[in-house]
Every structure is written in C-alpha cells, then in structure tokens.
Structure 1
Amino acid sequence: MRLRRVRALEGPVGQEGPVDAPVRDTPRTPGHSALVPPGLLHQQVSSALSNWQLDTAETLLREIDGDLPPAPVDDRPAPPLTSLARAWADTLRAELLVRRLRRAGYSLLGDPLVEGGPEQEGPLDLHGPVGAPGEAVDRDSRSESATHAALAISLVRSARAAFDAQDDDLQRAAGLARHARIELLSRRVDAAMDEAVEAASLLDPALPPSPLLVHTLSSLAAVLADLELMPLALDYQRRAADVTAEAIGAAATDAEAGSVDALAGEAATRLAALCAEVGEGLLDDGGADAAAPHFAEARDLAVRALGQLPPGVPGMLDAQVVHGWALVGLGEHAAARSVLTSVVSTAESAEDRALLASAELGLGRALRRSGDPRAADDHLATALASATEHGLPRLRRAALRELCTLHAELDDAARALPYLQAYLADELDRVDERRTRWVELFGRRKSLLETERAAGQLRRQAYEDPLTHLPNRRYAEARLDGLLSAGGVPALAVVDVDRFKAINDAAGHPTGDAVLRAVGQLLVDGCRDTDEVCRWAGDEFVILLPDTTSEQAERAMERIRRSIAAHDWSALGVEVPVRISVGIAQAARGDDRRTLFAAADGVLYDAKRAGRDRVVRLSGVTQTRATDPDRTTIDGQVAEAPPATDPAAGETLGDAPASPSADQMTAAPLTADHAEQPEDPTGGFAPLLVEPAAAEPVVEATDEERAARTGSPRDELPGGPSARAGSRLEPAEPTAPVLDPSASSAPVVDLPALAIGPDVIWGTGRTTEQVLALVREARREHPQHPAVVVRASADTLVALATEHDAYTTMDAAAMSAAVGPVPEPVGRVGVLCASSGDTPIAAEAAFVARVTGTEVVRVDDVGGSRIRPLLADRSLLTDVDCLVVVAGLDAALASVVSGLTEVPVVAVPTSAGQGASSFGGFSALLTMLNSAAPGVVVSNIDNGWSAGVFAARIARRTATA
C-alpha cells in the first residue's frame, strides 16, 4: 500500500453533494483495505469529517455500506467488508452522526451543548418516537437528532466490540484513539481519557515501524493534546517521528524511501505544531526564555517537513502554517507574515476549515506583535469564529487570549472584557490541578493495563509451546490430572517423529522446526474438536482423547499416521521420509497421570523397536500385556515373545520384536513409605509398574530417548551419541540407585540429579538485559543444567520466554524462571504457607524445588486456626519426603507441623509480619531458631531459593534410598 495523503475530493476541498466514487488502493485486497487506516478511503472520509464536510463524508460512507453501487476496480465487484473494515465503517459513521449532533447543539448522549450551537430546551429523548408528519419544524429537528444519537450509540458499541475481538493490538489501539476523538466531540472527557489510556497501553515499544503505527501514535498525540496533556502528547508524537526515521533507514528502494519521506514530513509537521503550541503557552505566561527552544525546534522540524513533502500535496500548507507560527514565536514577524498570508489565500479557496483557522490565528499574532493591531483584529476574529463553529477548543482559547490582549493594548476595555470572560470560562475546564490529576490518572491506568496484559502474556507462555503454538507439556499434565480426578477414562496417545535427528542433520534446524509445526497441524487436523494435541518435548507430542477407548484411539491414530506418511514433505525441502510412531493407553480406575503416561510411553517404544512408522496400543480390556513362557532376548534383555494378534483389536501386530514383560517396567513409588504396591483388583496400570528384577541389568537409554524424557535438545545431552542403537526403553521414572556398587545382585543406575551448576540469578536490582546476559553465560558454561532466575520482573520473564522458547520453565506467581533442561521429578516436597502475605516466598520455594527435580504439593493459608485441613488430612504431612513451612507472622507454624509428622521440616521466616513488631522478619527468625521441636532446620529470612534446593535434595535422596 502506497503511503499517500489525499483530501476528500479530486476537486476543491469543501464541495458538498455527490462526488465520484472513491479511488481505492492498488493492489486491491479483500475487505476494502483502503477503509482501514492509513488507507486512502479512510483518509478521504477523515478529511471530510475534520473539515465538517458532512454531506461528502456521508456520500462516501453510503457507497461503502452498499447504498450506492460500488466502483468497479479491474472489472471485479467489490468484496464484502471484513469485520475490521466494518468496525471502521461503524466508527466513521458514528463520528459523522456525532458531528451532526454537535452542529445541532447536542452531545452523543443527547445532552445540550450551548457553545457553538443553538440554545436547547432540554436533553433529547433517545427512546421517544420519531417526529410525525405535521409536527413543528423544531420538533422534527429534535426527533431527527434523537434518532441520530441512538444510532450513533449503537454504532459506537458495535465498533468497540469488533475492535475488542481483533488479535491485532495496533488496529485496536487505532480504533480506540478514534473513539476517544468521538468522546471529545461530545465533551465526555472521562470517557475519552479511558479510551486514550487503553490505546496507549496497547502500543508496545517493540512494535516494528509501519504506516499504521505512525498514524496511531499521531492520532493518540492529538487526543492527548485536546485533553490538555501536552507533555504526553509531545512524547507520543516524538515517538511517531522516531518511527518514521527508522522506516527511512529500512527503505529498500527509492520509491519506498519517497513514500516514507512523505510520511515523515507529516509526522514532523505535527510534532512542530505541538512544539510551537507549547512555546506559545510559555510565552503567554511570561517565560520567553523557556519558550525560545520550543519555537526553534518547531522551526527546524517545519523546514525539514517542507523538504520531505512532495510538491503540491496538501500537507505542504500544514507545514507552512507551523513554520509561520514558529517564526512568530522567534520574533521574525515579517517572514511569518509573508508565509501565513500566502497560506490564508490558498486555504480560503480550498475551504480547509482547521487549516484556515490556524493560519488566520498565526497571521493575527504576527500582525499584533509587529504593531498592526487593527489588521490583526480581523484575522483573529475570523480564527475565533471558525474555531468555535467547528469545535477546535485549543484554537478557540488561543484566539480569545490574543483578542483580549490586543484590545487591552488598545485600552478598549469594553471589547476586551467579553473575550476575557469567555477565555476564563474555557479555562475553568482545564485548570492546572485537573491537568495534573489527569496525568497521574493516565499513568496509573496505563501501568495497570500493561501489568494485566503482561500477566496474560505470561499465562499464555506458561501453557503454550512457542514453536508450534500448541498447548505445551505443562498444560497437558494439568489437563490430564483434571480429566483423571474428575473420574474420566481418557485415552492417551504419545507420538514421536521417527529419526527426527536425521531430518535435522539433512535439512537443517529451521526446516526441522517447520516439520514439527506441520506434524502438529496434521495431528490437529486428524483429531476431533474434543481431543487436545500438545507438544510434550523435542519431537514428541501427546494427544488427550476424553472418553475414548484404546481401540477407537488406535483407529484414529492410524488414519493420522497414514496422512502424515502421505503428506508432500518436499514442499518444505525435506527429502528424508517423515514418519511417526504412536503408543496408546487407556486410563482405568486407579491410574494417575504418571502411570498412564508411562504405559503409553512404553508401548510407543514397542512401536519403535518393531521398526517404527506404526501405531501400538496397550489392551484396554485386560490392562496387561500378554505373557508367554517362551522368552526371547533383545539387546541383552529378557523379553516375551510377541503374540500373533492383539486379543482386544483382533488385528495382527506383525513380526515386530516383543514388548518387555511387565516386571521389566518401573515407576515412581506409589505409597508414602515407598513399599511395593499390592495389586489393585480394580485394574489400572499401577500393578504393571513394579520394581525390576534384581538380576536384570539396566541398559542406558539412547540420546533420542533421553532427549524426549528431559525435553532438552539432543546436542545438549552429555556423553555424545548412544553407545548402542536401539537400546531398550529407559524407565519413565528414575530407578533407585544401589549405594554399594560392589553388590552384584542389584543394578547400578546413574540418577539424573541436578549436579552442581550455576548459581541462582537474582532479578532484584538487575535490568532485563543484565539478567539475559547472565543466563546466556550460565547456559554456555552449564548446558546440562537449568539457569534459575528468581524475583524477576514481568518484562524480564517475558524476555526470557521469548529468547529461549521451549527451554523456559516459568512461574508467574513466583516471578521465577528456569532456562534449560529440568530433571525428571524424584521424591516429593510439600510447601505450606501460613498466610497470604507469605505466598510469594512459598511460590519461590515451590518453583525452585520443582526445577531442582522433585514433585511439589502446595497448601496455602494454613496458619493459626486455619490449620484444620492438615489435621483432617494427615496425608498432606506424611506423603511427602520433606516439608517447607513459610511463615512470617505465624512463625510457630513450623514447630506445630513438626509435632504432627516425622518428615523433615525446613522453616523459612518472612518479613511479612504486621508493623514494626516483625522487625523485618527478625522476630519470626528468632521464634523458629528458639523452637525446641526436633526435625526442623531454619533458612534465612525470605530465602525461598535455598529452602527449595535443600528440601529437594532431601526428597531426592530419601526417595532413592
């Protein structure tokens, strides 16, 4: 889309009545793109509205709405409006109706507006009937105005709802800025403030340069200037000028550079006008020295704009007016008069009302200050009349002040007094106290909205995979827990892309990423609306299929497998075949998330060992694998011979090597004392997940399998490629190590514990860039371990998630993040929080324990008399390996808890006590240190980090002892 500024008509601006059909941008895009700013049609309607050419604006909008036949373009009919274009059409029509109401003397809500309109007998009845034939003319006028007001309100609401539904924050901000303008036309200052605040909160500083961004920033600056928030208006207009400077530097061709130059010229003109206006305000208040720099900047900007704007465009007149204003402020009256006289004559013929009022005001100033008050009076009176008629409050106040000063200098008090009274009446609406309050309110509201938006972004990042935009592992775990706890019996499919490393090596990592995105989309396309596809880690996906049997899931996944195999992958530049292996298990009563995933994961590796590119399910009828007295050996492992058919499905599984027997699978202990779980007569996968036989050695998993378990890139795994290809499945949960390696009757397993790695990175007192730099350094030095950041700002957490994508584990409540592979959980830590004031430290301890490699259970607000849940359900205190008790005011909670359990307790004092009596947490620390309760260790004040690490170490060692 070319960047052009065009007035409403090809002929003289201001002509009312029918016009030729509007010219749209080329090339044409669906949905009347020219109606959306900064499109040509949008500029035409906006120019007509700003110049109060309401009939012209209505003609253009009628053509858009289909009341007139659309203009043919390239012999193609006009397409229907998109939701965004419709929102802009409604917005522009609403502004048209509000301007008609303003001309009739009413606001958007039907309230009388005395200034600039006729005297009114009272507010409009927006719910009354339209005037019937034969009624008085004034009654018909009131009825028509009431109809206009009701329709305008409806259009404003529908447009606002359409903007709210847009995913494009920049378009939403542009719409809000325009709606703020509508509210200002109706004198609804508070509503305009709300719209402006929300628009400002949507303008992310990281947005790339674009014509729409410049348009939105300039529109918002104009609204803020009308709200008398001139410092804020200057800030946003300066940002618009900076954006155009960036765009000029990025222009690839001379044509692009010329278009951006024109845009930069308009932005510079608007900034120069604001600078000159600020300078006039300071000059009127007696601050000539303070005003001079503003006038000098306005002059330089205007000269630059005149050099950037193409000859003959209407924007040249705007730049000349601002140039004249700046020259007046600098005392160069003769030069200013020459420039402004030329503009006045041109603007009169063009009938540009706002431009003419500005030029007349500047010329009147130049004449008064150069000693020609009589000539100045005529120009200033013309400026006042035009500003009053067309609702230009800032120009009106400036003209009133100039006229009052002029007649005071002529000692004509009789004429000066009315101007003074009108000026003071206007000033009552903009006293400094109110302006200060608005500035503070603007800042607070904007900060609140930005915080809410950052929190929402953190929530999205917490549960969304940034590469595929599918739900991530964190979401899958939470969703699966919810389905199982609600009594559901979902099926779970674990999907792995076969030989994905070969695809990456052959085509490169960018192509590998594209393959993962395509596989994710094919999985989604093949599933029902009720199914949920999530990216688990690396090249592994999981699919949650609620209320689905394993047989139904197998049929669905087989269709998906065939669709992926038949997909044309050459379009992505992939020559290596893309295939998937799938393992399916169905939940039964007694299963939890870990056991269900372990079962599905086990049969996935059956599919891989059987040759890949296949779907294998665990029987949903028997919940067991068929046994056979004949055994075969796979990679040194004792395994069962494969049955000829799956008894549940009735289909042959092929000549694949058999799955390992049930007694070869392991899982985390299922009871508090880690004793062997007795067989559950109700079924479920838990009986299958027993300790391995002591005589059977455990073989190290392949790099591909380990990467899938940890979620880390294969390149970051220690040890290089696996020593043997096709080695058997690594257990889903770490196997307990043997403390005495010489004991030949038990296996020796490397526990994937978090070794000594980088120190914690504290976000307190550090900028986002400093934290990012420390994280990069930690990842280089310790690629196998996560870099843990605690007490970071929301901006820092967002930056971490953006830079490190899927390798960031984040907790918004703890304001913490871990960048890098997180070990599989071993053991269990309970975190108890005494009161809501202690929640941030409790969240920090829980997060650190989790990323150190343990499962975490949190119970909040159990201090004082609220300890009943712990007394009613002792499992909260006994089914864990270590407890962390976080307390400030109720520091005795740690001692009470230690008397209810034999589990070790880590007490964390906090500074959240009431008033000075807490001594910044020192009182709680002394209470905990002086406790005689056994089994309690005390951390230092507010240190959730060390408590979480210590508790995780205890839990991991206890669980594997």
Structure 2
Amino acid sequence: MQQDYPLMPGRLPAQDRQVRLLLDSGRFEAAGAAFDELTAVRPNLVADQWDRATVLVHRASLAWRLDRIPLALELAAEGWTELDVDRPSGIAAAHTISMLGHLLETIGHRAPALELMALAVQVARAAGDDDTLAQCLCREANALVFRAVSRRSESREEQFRLARALFEESRALTGPGQVYRSALAGGARAHAGVGEHETAERLAAEALRLSTPAEDLFSASVANWVLAVVRREQHELPEARTYASRALDRAETIRDTQLMMQFSLDLAAICDELSDPVGESAALRRTVSASRLAVETLQEGLGQALEQRRVAVQAQRMAMAAQEAALRDPLTGLTNRLGLERRAPALLEQTAAQGRIPWLMLVDVDWFKDVNDGAGHAAGDAALQEVAHLLRRECRADDLICRWAGDEFVVLLVDSADESGPVVAERIRAAVDAHDWRLVLGRTKQPPTVSIGVAAGPAELDHLFSAADIALYRAKRAGRNRVEIDQDSGDLPSISRTDSR
C-alpha cells in the first residue's frame, strides 16, 4: 500500500514533511511541485547513516507516490545500500528498515519485503520505543493481510491470525492517531479473514468513526472495505456494494494502487452476484484482471531493476573502497608510494596556480636498523607507526603525507607559505627527537630520530624528490637528526640541528 504512517517529524527536513502532508490530503499537483523544488538540489542529507537512510527511503516513497519511478528506484537503492551494516539499532534504524520493506512490498518486490519489516519489528523492540514499535507492527501486519487476501493458499488463515495479533499489539502501544486508526481498520480485516465477523464489523465501524473527522482517507477506505466484506458474507449484497463503492472512491482519491486493485475486484464480484443489468461488474472484472496482470508484470520488472541498481551501487562502493585501499600503506595508514604518484601532480599544480612555492620533505628514520636488531621487527613496526602519528600531528590535514618505502616518508605541503617547508621540517624533527619512545621500544641505547631533506622549486615531483634526496644525504653525512635544505631552493637560511646525545 502506498499510504504510510507518520515518521519521526524531528528526523525529516521540513520540506519532506510538507510534501508528505500534501500527498496525504490528495493535493498531488502541489505535492509534485514541492517535491521538484525539494530535489532540485541534492543536499548533503544527514551525517548519521541511519538518519540519512531514513530520508533517502522516505523520499523514495514520495517519488513512488508521485509516479517518479526511476527516481524512486534510485533513492530506494541508495537508502538500501546505507542499511548494509551488521547490527542495526535504534529508532531511526527501525523506521528506515520498516519503511523500505513497505516500499518494496508496494512495488511488488516481495522476496525481501516481509523479511525487512520483521527485522524492523525486532529492532524497534530492542529500541524500547512504543510508538516506533507500533508503526513497524502495523506495516508488517498490513503486508500480511494483503498477501492473505491476494493469495488463496493454505497459509491464508495463518497469515490473517498473525496479522490480527500484530494489529492488536500495535493498538495497545499507541494512542489515538493515524497508526491507531490504521491498526483498527487493518485488524478488522484480519478478524474478517478468520470468520470473526461481529468483531470485524465493530472495529471497522470504530475506525470509520475516527477517520472521518481526521480526514484519514486510507483508514476510511479500508474500514469501508471490511464492512463490504462482512455484508457480502452476510448476503446483504446491496449494502455490500455501497460500502465497496465508498472504499474504492477513497482509494482513488489518495491514488493507492494496491487498494484500488483489490477493491475494484471485490466490487466487481459483488455486482456480478447482484446480476447488475448494465453488465458493469463483468466488464470491471475483465478490465481489472487485465490491468492487474499488466501491473504485476511491471512491478516484477521494477523489483528486478531495483535489486540490480542496489547491487550496482554496492559494487561501485566496494570498488571505490578497494581503490582507496590500494593507495594506502597498511602499516601506518598513510598514503603509499602509488598514492603519492597519483595525487602529487594535481596538488603541485594547484599550489603553483595559487602563486605559492611547493615544498617537499623527504624524512628518513635514523638508527632504524638498530631498532629492528635490538627490539625486534614488531617494535620496529610500532616505531614507524609512531613516526606516522607525529607527522600527522605536525602537518595540516590538507598536506599529503606518504610512507615512501621502509623507514622513509615524504611530506608534500599544500598551499604553503614561501618559508613554511623548513619551518615544518624542523618542527617534525624536534617532535621526533623529544618523543618518549620508552612505551614503544623500552630503554634503547639509541632512540630513533629523523633526518630531513627539504626542497622547493618547479611543480614537478621528480625534480623535487631528487633535490630533497640530495639534501637528505647531506643531513645524514653531517651527523643525522638534522634538517637540510636543497641549495637551489632559494636564499632561505639553512636550518640544522646536531644530535645532542
């Protein structure tokens, strides 16, 4: 069913809520215009993944009701992909999973729909929020009712009984409102499905009484349908036809395709039993049957398209993650050599375009062989991770930090000032020199330090790297724990520090 229930107003943007209200009141032209404005610019929805998924799936539901099928599929697939986590929890998660299952049920992709709605009930129970649980129970129960009605299977009565229990629990958890009215009307149909006609009529009458002043056309439509079913079972066919006509009128007003299909078939059957002289019932039955077959074929195709789209989105994300992992050093988490070679040209070009001098630092860990020999390779790995941490701390987030090979690192300063390279290099050297290595290496005779070669000049990575390498060689020959600047990098003063130990 296209009709849905109120969804956490505080967790949806105001414009989304406005489109929903317009649709529920039958103002589809105004709703379409508001939705176009809403989706004209794709916003950065919400940071939290469950809230983001909630908005995406809700907008997919809006798009479907507005007959924007391709957009509905795209939004639903993206929202579904957001749900690919191991342990969903919380109110937002429960609502999102339930609403996604409801949407899949509506478009005919039924295989995962009921499973998602049942999962949403579990998540809602764990979250401990009665209103959320009531809504999730009602969605699952409605799906069971319409499956039982549309399929004359052996499990039909069992589905009605399960739906009846879910509706009863939903009503007990929530106060007067749309969820309560929907649970009344749906519960009435479940009671009628197991032959409890007196209870079904009482609940349907109550749902109709509450729905009329609230202008709740969905619940009123279902309630009229239930009364039509009961009157037909009681062989009061003229009254059954009246109720069925009212149900169909209201379903058409809110453009709920699933309700329209079922109510049309029931009305046609009642008219046929009445031997309508105009022959309207027979024509309606044939028309609706043909339309139903066409719609079911379309729905199946849309369901397959949705699944394919979801798989494609997930595969794209996995491919992007794999590409990102290929550019990262697994030990330190820094960009690796391949990542530097791919990203550096654009960064150098950007720096040059801003009229700034590109600086490159080549950082080599001193005494690293002694660390490996004295403390072991595990300690050596830990030392490299500490150096990586210090580099991140002393550099800006936009600077490109790379583990080049072994105990060598490269730092490329982005949007840097004319003299920033030597200053940052000295800051890094001092941080490593002053670092307390005892937690990582214990009491070593020679804690690691770093020697740094610094170069600036044309925006070419090979040129900068060669110049920085020459400067690093001078720092090593001069005693290590030093910063040396390439002699061709300008008239900036050289900065060097001798090992104080």
TM-score range, shorter chain: 0.7 to 0.9
Mark the CA change 1:327 to 1:477 in structure 2 (over 3 Å): closer, same or farther. same
Q: Are positions 1:103 and 2:27 aligned together?
A: yes
Match of 2:38 in 1: 155
Aligned residue among 181, 186, 199 for 1:322:
186
The 3 A distance-change label for structure 1 pair 310 and 154 is closer
Aligned to 1:292: 157
Aligned to 1:653: 497
The reply to whether residue 383 of structure 1 matches residue 237 of structure 2 is no
Task: Tell me the CA shift for residue 273 of structure 1.
Answer: 0.9
Task: Tell me, yes or no, if the aligned pair for 2:453 and 2:469 is still in contact at 8 Å.
Answer: no
User: Partner of 2:147 in structure 1?
Assistant: 278
Q: Is the 8 A contact 1:94 1:153 kept in 2?
A: no
Q: Does structure 2 conserve the Cα–Cα contact (< 8 Å) formed by 1:292 and 1:330?
A: yes
Q: Which residue of 2 is the match for residue 542 of structure 1? A: 410
CA distance in 2, matches of 1:208, 1:516: 37
SS at match of 2:258: helix
Partner of residue 200 from structure 1, selected from 80, 101, 125: 80
Do structure 1's residue 222 and structure 2's residue 102 form an aligned pair?
yes
1:18-65 per-residue CA deviation (whole Å, 9 max, x = no partner) reads xxxxxxxxxxxxxxxxxxxx64445xxxxxxxxxxxxxxxxxxxxxxx
Cα distance in 2, alignment partners of residues 470 and 41 from structure 1: 39
Aligned to 1:620: 487
Match of 2:14 in 1: 89
Whether the 8 Å contact between 1:197 and 1:446 is mirrored in structure 2 is: yes
Q: 1:362 to 1:519 in 2, by over 3 A?
A: farther
1:721 counterpart residue number: none
Partner of 1:263: 132
- Per-residue CA deviations over 1:442-465 (Å, capped at 9, x if unaligned) read 222222222112111212222246
Distance (whole Å) between structure 2 residues aligned to residue 348 and residue 494 of structure 1: 76
Per-residue Cα deviation, 1:151-205 (whole angstroms, up to 9, x for no partner): 65233212x3444xx6655444433323333333333334433333333233314
Deviation at 1:281, TM superposition (A): 0.6
Q: Match for 2:219: what amino acid?
A: L
Supply the distance in 2 between the matched residues of 1:178 and 1:617 (Cα, whole angstroms): 59
| Separation (CA, whole Å) in 2 of partners of 1:356 and 1:604 | 84
Aligned match of 2:325: 461
User: Cα 1:203–1:231, aligned 2, differ >3 Å: closer, same or farther?
Assistant: same
For 1:875-926, what per-residue CA distance to the aligned partner results, in whole angstroms no more than 9, with x for missing partners?
A: xxxxxxxxxxxxxxxxxxxxxxxxxxxxxxxxxxxxxxxxxxxxxxxxxxxx
Partners of 2:366 and 2:14 in 1: how far apart? 48
Aligned to 1:555: 423
AA aligned to 1:534 is C
Say whether the 8 Å CA contact 1:381–1:403 is kept in structure 2: yes
State the alpha-carbon separation in 2 of the partners of residues 296 and 497 from structure 1: 75
The TM-score with structure 2 as length reference comes to: 0.74
5+ residue gaps, structure 2: 436-442
The alpha-carbon deviation at position 277 of structure 1 amounts to 0.7
Amino acid at match of 1:494: V
d(CA) in 2 for partners of 1:315, 1:469:
49
Distance 1:223 1:95 in 2: 15
In structure 2, distance between residues paired with 1:156 and 1:547 = 35
Q: How does 1:164-563 map to 2 (within 5 A)?
A: 169-206=49-86, 208-245=88-125, 248=126, 258-259=128-129, 261-282=130-151, 287-306=152-171, 309-310=173-174, 315-414=179-278, 416-417=280-281, 420=284, 424=288, 427=291, 430-464=294-328, 470-479=334-343, 491-494=360-363, 519-525=390-396, 529=398, 531-534=399-402, 541-545=409-413, 553-559=421-427
Structure 1 residues 329 and 555, CA gap change in structure 2 (3 angstroms)? same
Kindly state the Cα deviation for residue 384 of structure 1 after the two structures are TM-superposed.
Answer: 1.8
Secondary structure of 2:483 counterpart: strand
8 Å contact from structure 1 (residues 585, 599) kept in 2: no
Instruction: Quote the offset at 1:481 in angstroms.
Output: 8.5
AA matched with 1:542: V
Percent pairwise identity: 22
Aligned to 1:949: none
The answer (yes or no) to whether the contact 2:362–2:465 under 8 Å persists in 1 is: no
One-letter identity of the residue aligned with 1:373 = L
Q: Distance in 1 between matches of 2:101 and 2:177?
A: 23
- CA 1:40–1:184: 2 relative to 1, 3 Å: closer
RMSD: 5.1
SS in 1 for 2:278: helix
Work out the CA distance in 2 between the residues paired with 1:590 and 1:432. Answer: 60
Which whole-Å CA distance do the structure 2 matches of 1:594 and 1:154 have between them? 51
**How far apart, CA to CA, are the structure 2 residues paired with 1:264 and 1:650?**
69
SS in 2 for 1:431: helix
The DSSP-based 3-state class of the residue aligned with 1:494 is strand
Q: How many angstroms apart in 2 are the aligned matches of 1:466 and 1:590? A: 24
Distance 1:650 1:601 in 2: 13
Q: Distance in 2 between matches of 1:91 and 1:173?
A: 14
User: 1:92 & 1:230 partners in 2: Cα distance?
Assistant: 27
> Hey, which of these two has a bigger chunk of helix by percent?
2
Judged with a 3 Å threshold, the aligned counterparts in structure 2 of structure 1 residues 243 and 413 are, in CA distance, closer, same or farther, namely farther
Q: Answer yes or no: is the 8 Å Cα contact 2:360–2:410 preserved in 1.
A: no
What does residue 136 of structure 1 align with?
none
Query: What's the offset of the Cα at 1:271?
Result: 0.9
Give me the whole-angstrom Cα distance separating, in 2, the residues matched to 1:555 and 1:356.
74
SS at match of 2:335: coil
Distance 1:402 1:517, change over 3 A: farther
Kept after mapping to 2: 8 A contact 1:561/1:580: yes
SS in 1 for 2:362: strand
Query: CA deviation digits over 1:902-957, x for unaligned, max 9?
Result: xxxxxxxxxxxxxxxxxxxxxxxxxxxxxxxxxxxxxxxxxxxxxxxxxxxxxxxx
Q: Secondary structure at the match of 1:187?
A: coil
1:404, 1:420 within 8 Å by CA — same for their partners in 2?
A: yes
Q: What's the offset of the Cα at 1:604?
A: 7.4
Distance in 1 separating the partners of 2:346 and 2:215? 67
The whole-number CA distance in structure 2 between the counterparts of 1:392 and 1:453 is 35
CA apart distance, 1:541: 5.0
User: Which residue identity is paired with 1:325?
Assistant: R
Superposed displacement of residue 278, structure 1: 0.9
Mapping 1:14-25, distance limit 5 Å? none
Distance 1:330 1:592, change over 3 A: farther
Deviation at 1:274, TM superposition (A): 0.4
Per-residue CA deviations over 1:392-434 (Å, capped at 9, x if unaligned) read 2222222222222222223335375288269628826843332
CA-CA distance at 1:563 after TM superposition: 8.0
Per-residue deviation, residues 450-506 of structure 1 (Å, max 9, x unmatched): 211211121222224689875345413544689999x9985223276999x9xx9xx
Structure 1 residues 543 and 348: CA distance shift in structure 2, 3 A: same
Closer/same/farther in 2, CA of residues 648 and 313 from structure 1, 3 Å limit: closer
Give the C-alpha shift of residue 579 in structure 1.
10
Where relative contact order (Cα < 8 A, 6+ residues apart) is larger, the structure is 2
Distance apart, 1:543 and its partner CA: 0.8
DSSP 3-state at the match of 1:414:
coil
DSSP-derived class of the 1:289 partner: coil
TM-score by length of 1: 0.42
- Contact 1:494 1:600 (C-alpha < 8 Å) held by counterparts: no
